[in-house]
A and B are shown apart, each in its own frame.
Chain A
């Protein structure tokens, strides 16, 4: 009934004052839209209206224009496109009448946006309206300009706005002041023009003008240092006076908010004071008294009063305040925190976050209260409080704080558990002083919120576990117990299952009991039971399932008595729907059944994981991803073209090479990846374990060589990260390996000379670069050592064809520096597309050992883009000193020969 009356009343007022409703038909449309029961109906109505409006636009009917625009604004609000009406806005603005202009400007602000070029067309109308005698039309123009002006418009119209700031009209003045904020934001250079004007507006009495002027001053301070200095000198007295007047003034009904005189003006002044007083002792000194007065005299029973106090405390914290004032501020904070209003507590926490930088001790005093806030029912407060607690943690309070947080974890809101868990984990990791404490806390977190623990946290835990040999027994027993009680927590299951698999015998035999630890009796089959239950419960999750299977396999070797049972469990999973689990089951079954001989060595305990390298990797992982993303595109478009015309990704040759040995190389390569390598891997797009040696390019050639040589030999067990990153160390290993090869080992040197050249240079740095650098200056190229390691030496004799400057002939000589003979030696080369390569037959396919004789081969190279490409690549000079990996790859991609050769020939 109420509604009907309202409608009737509305209708009556509509007839009486048709000014705002632009004719009744707008109401009709809104009613029609409101009457729609479904979205489809609504769309139909809107479509019909839009069609009618489009017709009206095309018929150019001025009388309907402003009503149509009003309708369109409603349609726009509902989310339908209204771009066809942009020109109509401009026409309305250009009209003479006030109602048209009003709707036109409103449409301009709502329908158009900064991206529209149409906006430029409005500059002229704006200029005219800014100079209009009617202050309301000026007001409309200022409002539109303040909301949507672009940098060009700001430059064009700033003189008008400056003039309007001197106007006598209060309304015009305050709008012009705010309009200049937008202008200064768009064109900071204009700030200087407004400094004096803004300062003079501070002498006004009208609160609206004052608040606008103060906001303008604040903006000017942000935009320009000069303005800041100017305002420091000229405004501070005025500001203090304004603040004193407004806080001392008796009842002023107009600007009163629940009994507090104009809190908005208070707040703006305090904000500007903070900016002026920051880092300026004189200014701060000047403000001290009035700040103390505001802080003590403001009534804190009302929201408005608290808003002022809040701002005041922020200002005291921001400026060079006296210590007495600081104490006052901290006390206000304390009062806020104990307030029952959630809003007040929220801002108090907010403020404490900032105060922690100024006075951490004072904030620590409120620790208990803050900790209570973590448990608040209000999500905003909880989140803030948790962040604050995180900042408050230090070595002395970490234990009680962690205990509190973990205790709360069990009853926390499910939505909040994720945040809380990750914060607890990072606190525990960051501040753990002893391993036992760290492990205990982690086990608790895993038990209570294992489903919210991130994978990297689990990995870090496992790394720590594998290093803490004296605590492994304790850990596996604790985890076993936790697993019995909290078998549904995903991460707990994974960590526990891994530990049972690795340290199963410690579980059963109670190895490494700690003082005060309760003895538990676990039989071998109990351990298998635990894993089997976990497997059945989590079989949907491939990772957990796979970990369970591995654990079972390991247990079968640790406890021979359970072997038969494990076999059955594994066999049952042969038909698992998850492919990963199915495959593992089949493989593991065959290990159990057919490979008894190697089983025990295969299922030995994992080697101790390298803690330091893991930490480094984890810390830089994010960084590496970012840089990889950044650099990857620079390499991608190149895409190395192989001579056979098949385009392959840049990394393909390398990967191919490594593929040769992929059967037995993985063992040697998996552990060799350090973080910088990851970055490169990303760069190359190489995936998979077998290629992870691709690592740092400077080591790549060595690796290639090693892998090549490892054919037919037992898996390499080198590759600690240290060796990988220092190729020079790795080379001797290659000799050793080579030494172990039989003399008939075939070496298929399917490598690109260019790659070897560049890498060789880089790799051996001082050794061979001297020769090649010398080549840079000469046009006649002497013999250069293209590649030299302790195993193989390649020299190139370069000659340019007299008749054809683009063609270079190369006489390559291969020398075997090892003690075994290379048989079936093949030399292959790849060049970029713009270079033609002719390979003459080699003088033989056997390279005698110990440098006794060599194989030679002729190549001729024709550069079809002489000089062109390399001018583009100019910044790459000199390539031999390229430090950056990306550049190196660029270089690899484009270089057949040392830079100068191709460039000059």
Chain B
């Protein structure tokens, strides 16, 4: 089972946090900090796996990928294949790339909402649901279309009236 997905910037700012096993919200920042500490201490060229028993409980491991200014982190337990998790990060990043065309940190900051949609199409309740970035994009695009439809009918008039009322 995947316990958490985190995207943390190299400045230690959380960019995306998703916990699949319960973690009290007041602990989230602490988790981000301790994960970041671990990550920043690791030199280049070492393995991408770190045991994080002390942070996420016994038997948990973390796999990470350092891309540009971001760390992509998946936390999982012994029922997952470490190497496959590494590939799953790749799928996630590829999907983001397709979605934002050359994804950068700013895309992620401003569209964290969309990131969640993508993640929900990929992982559900800590289990992998879809591993093809093409399939994921198909669903995400359909959701976007649906939002657009409903927003043209309901939201735009409101936002116009809002603008007038100011």
Chain A contact residues, CB within 8 Å of chain B: 3, 6-7, 10, 17-23, 27, 30, 34, 63, 70, 73-74, 76-79, 81, 97-99, 102-103, 106, 110-111, 113-115, 136, 139, 142-143, 146-147, 171, 174-175, 178-179, 181-182, 207-208, 211-212, 215, 218, 253-255, 257, 262-265, 267, 271, 303-304, 306-307, 310-311, 342-347, 350, 377-381, 383
In the complex the two chains form, is B155's CB within 8 Å of A310's CB? no
CB distance from A271 to the nearest CB of B (A): 8
In the complex the two chains form, is A254's CB within 8 Å of B51's CB? no
In the complex the two chains form, is A18's CB within 8 Å of B110's CB? no
In the complex the two chains form, is A20's CB within 8 Å of B147's CB? yes
A307: which B residues are within 8 A, CB to CB?
81-84, 86-87
In the complex the two chains form, is A136's CB within 8 Å of B142's CB? yes
18 further contact pairs, Cβ within 8 A, besides A103-B113, A178-B125: A10-B107, A17-B148, A18-B155, A23-B159, A30-B110, A63-B158, A73-B112, A73-B113, A81-B25, A99-B150, A102-B143, A139-B139, A181-B125, A207-B131, A208-B132, A254-B134, A264-B87, A350-B82
CB distance from B92 to the nearest CB of A (A): 12
In the complex the two chains form, is A147's CB within 8 Å of B20's CB? yes
Residue B128 interfacial (CB < 8 Å) = yes
Partner of A383, one of B28, B29, B51, B135: B51
B14-27 Cβ-contact flags toward A at 8 Å (1 or 0): 11111010101110
Partner of A304, one of B87, B106, B107, B109: B87
In the complex the two chains form, is A208's CB within 8 Å of B125's CB? no
Partner of B124, one of A17, A23, A146, A311: A146
In the complex the two chains form, is A345's CB within 8 Å of B47's CB? yes
Query: 4 shortest A-B CB distances, which residue pairs?
Result: A307-B83, A19-B147, A342-B47, A146-B125
**Residue contacts A-B, CB under 8 angstroms, 6 given:** A3-B106, A175-B124, A178-B129, A208-B130, A255-B131, A303-B86
Given A76-B25, A174-B130, decide whether A20 and B114 contact each other with a Cβ distance below 8 A. Answer: yes
In the complex the two chains form, is B22's CB within 8 Å of A19's CB? no
B139: which A residues are within 8 A, CB to CB?
139, 171
Assembled-state Cα–Cα distance A660/B45 (Å) = 68
A34: which B residues are within 8 A, CB to CB?
109
In the complex the two chains form, is A77's CB within 8 Å of B17's CB? yes
B26: which A residues are within 8 A, CB to CB?
81
Given A106-B116, A303-B83, A343-B48, decide whether A257 and B90 contact each other with a Cβ distance below 8 A. Answer: yes
Partner of A179, one of B24, B48, B125, B144: B125
Assembled-state Cα–Cα distance A122/B68 (Å) = 40
Partner of B83, one of A74, A111, A310: A310
In the complex the two chains form, is A264's CB within 8 Å of B150's CB? no
Given A345-B47, A380-B51, decide whether A264 and B88 contact each other with a Cβ distance below 8 A. Answer: yes
Assembled-state Cα–Cα distance A130/B121 (Å) = 17
A347: which B residues are within 8 A, CB to CB?
49, 82-83
State which residues 14-73 of B face A: CB under 8 Å. Answer: 14-18, 20, 22, 24-26, 28-29, 32, 42-43, 45-51
Assembled-state Cα–Cα distance A253/B32 (Å) = 36
Given A7-B106, A77-B112, A179-B125, decide whether A19 and B131 contact each other with a Cβ distance below 8 A. Answer: no
State which residues 96-116 of B face A: CB under 8 Å. Answer: 104, 106-107, 109-114, 116
In the complex the two chains form, is A113's CB within 8 Å of B25's CB? yes
| Closest residue on chain B to residue A16 by CB atoms | B148
Assembled-state Cα–Cα distance A253/B132 (Å) = 9
Given A17-B144, A207-B132, A264-B87, decide whether A378 and B46 contact each other with a Cβ distance below 8 A. Answer: yes
In the complex the two chains form, is B81's CB within 8 Å of A267's CB? yes
In the complex the two chains form, is A19's CB within 8 Å of B148's CB? yes
Assembled-state Cα–Cα distance A147/B123 (Å) = 10
In the complex the two chains form, is B22's CB within 8 Å of A113's CB? yes
Chain B residues within 8 Å of chain A by Cβ, number: 69
CB distance from B43 to the nearest CB of A (A): 8
Looking at chain B's contact residues, the main secondary structure is: helix
Assembled-state Cα–Cα distance A78/B14 (Å) = 7
CB distance from A515 to the nearest CB of B (A): 47
State which residues 142-157 of B face A: CB under 8 Å. Answer: 142-144, 146-151, 154-155
Given A307-B84, A346-B49, A383-B51, decide whether A20 and B129 contact each other with a Cβ distance below 8 A. Answer: no
Assembled-state Cα–Cα distance A255/B130 (Å) = 9
Interface centre among B18, B51, B120 (most CB of A within 10 A): B120
In the complex the two chains form, is A378's CB within 8 Å of B151's CB? no
| Closest residue on chain B to residue A114 by CB atoms | B22
Given A77-B112, A311-B81, decide whether A262 and B131 contact each other with a Cβ distance below 8 A. Answer: yes
A304: which B residues are within 8 A, CB to CB?
83-84, 87
Partner of B128, one of A21, A175, A215, A379: A215
| Closest residue on chain A to residue B130 by CB atoms | A208
Residue B91 interfacial (CB < 8 Å) = yes
B90: which A residues are within 8 A, CB to CB?
257
Given A78-B14, A380-B49, decide whether A215 and B127 contact each other with a Cβ distance below 8 A. Answer: yes
Assembled-state Cα–Cα distance A106/B20 (Å) = 13
A253: which B residues are within 8 A, CB to CB?
134
B45: which A residues are within 8 A, CB to CB?
342
In the complex the two chains form, is A342's CB within 8 Å of B150's CB? no
In the complex the two chains form, is B22's CB within 8 Å of A264's CB? no
In the complex the two chains form, is B25's CB within 8 Å of A20's CB? no
B16: which A residues are within 8 A, CB to CB?
77
| Closest residue on chain A to residue B140 by CB atoms | A20
| Closest residue on chain A to residue B43 by CB atoms | A377
A22: which B residues are within 8 A, CB to CB?
113
Assembled-state Cα–Cα distance A182/B126 (Å) = 9
Given A18-B151, A146-B124, A378-B47, decide whether A74 and B112 contact each other with a Cβ distance below 8 A. Answer: yes
In the complex the two chains form, is B125's CB within 8 Å of A255's CB? no
Partner of A19, one of B83, B127, B135, B144: B144
In the complex the two chains form, is B113's CB within 8 Å of A21's CB? yes
Assembled-state Cα–Cα distance A102/B16 (Å) = 17
In the complex the two chains form, is B83's CB within 8 Å of A21's CB? no
CB distance from A516 to the nearest CB of B (A): 44
Partner of A181, one of B17, B46, B127: B127
A212: which B residues are within 8 A, CB to CB?
127, 129
B49: which A residues are within 8 A, CB to CB?
343, 346-347, 380
B132: which A residues are within 8 A, CB to CB?
207-208, 254-255
| Closest residue on chain B to residue A180 by CB atoms | B125
A136: which B residues are within 8 A, CB to CB?
142-143, 146
Assembled-state Cα–Cα distance A97/B151 (Å) = 9
In the complex the two chains form, is B124's CB within 8 Å of A178's CB? yes
| Closest residue on chain B to residue A113 by CB atoms | B22
CB distance from A144 to the nearest CB of B (A): 9
B124: which A residues are within 8 A, CB to CB?
142-143, 146-147, 175, 178-179
Interface centre among B50, B81, B151, B158 (most CB of A within 10 A): B81
A378: which B residues are within 8 A, CB to CB?
46-47
In the complex the two chains form, is A264's CB within 8 Å of B128's CB? yes
B120: which A residues are within 8 A, CB to CB?
106, 143
A350: which B residues are within 8 A, CB to CB?
82
Given A77-B14, A99-B147, decide whether A303 and B46 contact each other with a Cβ distance below 8 A. Answer: no
B42: which A residues are within 8 A, CB to CB?
379
In the complex the two chains form, is B113's CB within 8 Å of A70's CB? yes
B131: which A residues are within 8 A, CB to CB?
207-208, 211, 255, 257, 262, 264-265
Assembled-state Cα–Cα distance A637/B37 (Å) = 43
Assembled-state Cα–Cα distance A178/B15 (Å) = 26
Assembled-state Cα–Cα distance A311/B82 (Å) = 10
Partner of B29, one of A23, A79, A262: A79
